[in-house]
């Protein structure tokens, strides 16, 4: 979904329902952390909550340099649609840029009911360059008599 269209939908949701809090946010944080870790794609997972209505639940993580940003984006989107979002309604967008992927999402549990927003930032780990074996050391000592 286009980022502008997503922001319009998120704003509409924020005007039509109350934000989730407390237990709802804690439950989503726990599910998000478990999903990211269990995926096998993401490492260094950190999950938390904010007071920002656009990012009630946030997460940062890394993915291997051997995983492309497109693969990481596909996995984030799969995690969201297959187990993190609520059943009633959801909207999300995935932003791909060089070396990182972002997932922004909003979902509503029931009518009447609350909504929660989510922002995940996944950065690609840098693959360290291979070390070149040190050249054989040459003796620079001059023999003495």
DSSP for residue 52: -
Q: Indicate the domain borders of the chain.
A: 3-124
- Structural fold of domain 3-124: Beta Polymerase; domain 2 (3.30.460)
Burial grade of 136 (CB within 10 A; 0-12, 13-18, 19 or more): exposed
pLDDT in tens, the chain (145 residues): 888 999 999 999 999 999 999 999 999 999 999 999 999 999 999 999 999 999 999 999 999 989 999 999 999 999 999 999 999 999 999 999 999 999 999 999 888 889 999 999 999 997 665 655 555 544 455 555 5
pLDDT of the residue at 126: 77
Measured at the alpha carbon of residue 32, what is the angle toward residues 77 and 4, in degrees to the nearest 5?
45
Burial grade of 41 (CB within 10 A; 0-12, 13-18, 19 or more): buried
């Amino acid at each position: 979904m286009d980022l502008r269209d997503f922001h319009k939908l998120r704003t509409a949701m924020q005007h039509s329902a109350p934000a989730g809090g407390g237990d709802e946010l804690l439950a989503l944080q726990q599910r998000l952390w478990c999903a990211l870790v269990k995926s096998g794609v993401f490492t260094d997972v950190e999950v938390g909550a904010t007071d920002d209505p656009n990012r009630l639940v946030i997460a940062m993580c890394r993915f291997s340099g051997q995983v492309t940003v497109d693969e990481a984006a596909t996995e984030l989107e799969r995690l969201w649609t297959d187990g993190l979002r609520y059943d009633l309604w959801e909207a999300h967008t995935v932003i791909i840029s060089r070396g990182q992927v972002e997932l922004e999402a909003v979902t509503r549990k029931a009518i009447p009911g609350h909504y929660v927003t989510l922002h995940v930032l996944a950065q690609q780990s840098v693959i360290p360059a291979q070390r070149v074996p040190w050249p054989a050391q040459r003796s620079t000592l001059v023999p003495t008599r």
